[in-house]
């Protein structure tokens, strides 16, 4: 488990790890950050190949066609292209989101993983200090999440590991974001091994919702052994800031 990751992946003991508890009273407003800009987040361009898959520890949607979806602006300092998004959730509705805002733990989160276009692919970018930009959206239990609903109808196709399903139907990445895209920003890491400290984190200030039924559907996805389910797949241990500053664009 997470306590022993560092034995095999030394970076997991690093000083700039994620997730963190974002204490809003200590966040610094940075006027230079500005707004995030998104390309093709409003639609799926024709010819885009998108796969829904169960990678054994998360429900994940992979964008197989490179350089179609972009995130830039917002102080990122480069163009980042979207590689995938995946979800973290808990065994019950009280936990599952990785980042906390003022100590509040929510039911789930979506991580939209983007890599710096100066690198040829995500595996090259993954361990570079400027390699990754991940957008975290925290989900609280409430109304059905309409954007996720379009993806969740594929869940039954991916209950076994490695199963893949084409996301044929109209879906947009933007539908996963809150309408207000104000954000918190800090430098951190992947929250799973190898825990590379290569992530510019953008955590959305505004939470979106997910229904209890949608969470139950996600919990039905089987883990690798086909017995356990993919829940509590989040890093429970909050990481110390170690002098890092959390900034905001609002």
Which residues are tagged catalytic? 57, 119
Task: Please tell me the distance from the alpha carbon of residue 7 to that of residue 11, in angstroms, as a whole number.
Answer: 10
Closest CA to 249 of 182, 174, 194: 182
Residue for token pair 């990785």: 98
Q: Which residue has the tokens 């559907």?
A: 217
Q: How far apart are CA 57 and CA 2, in angstroms?
A: 13
What DSSP character marks residue 7? H
How far is Cα 119 from Cα 122, in angstroms, rounded to an integer? 7
Q: 171: closest CA among 65, 63, 57?
A: 63
């Amino acid at each position: 488990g997470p306590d022993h990751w560092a034995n095999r992946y030394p970076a997991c003991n690093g000083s700039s790890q994620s997730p963190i508890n974002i204490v809003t009273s200590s966040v610094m407003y940075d006027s230079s950050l500005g707004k995030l800009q998104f390309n093709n987040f409003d639609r799926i361009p024709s010819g885009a190949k998108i796969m829904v898959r169960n990678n054994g520890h998360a429900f994940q949607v992979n964008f197989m066609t490179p350089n179609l979806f972009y995130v830039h602006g917002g102080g990122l300092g480069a163009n980042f292209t979207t590689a995938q998004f995946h979800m973290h959730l808990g065994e019950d509705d009280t936990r599952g989101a990785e980042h906390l805002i003022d100590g509040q733990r929510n039911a789930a989160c979506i991580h939209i993983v983007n890599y710096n276009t100066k690198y040829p692919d995500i595996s090259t970018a993954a361990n570079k200090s400027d390699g990754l930009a991940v957008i975290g959206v925290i989900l609280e239990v409430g109304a059905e999440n309409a954007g996720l609903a379009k993806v969740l109808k594929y869940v039954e196709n991916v209950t076994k590991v490695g199963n893949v399903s084409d996301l044929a139907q109209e879906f947009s990445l933007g539908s996963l974001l809150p309408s207000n895209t104000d954000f918190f920003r800090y430098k951190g890491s992947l929250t799973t091994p190898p825990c590379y400290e290569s992530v510019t984190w953008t955590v959305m200030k505004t939470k979106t919702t997910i229904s209890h039924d949608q969470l139950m559907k996600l919990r039905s996805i089987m883990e690798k052994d086909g017995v356990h389910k993919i829940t509590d797949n989040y890093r429970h241990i909050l990481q110390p800031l170690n002098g890092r500053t959390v900034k905001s664009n609002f």
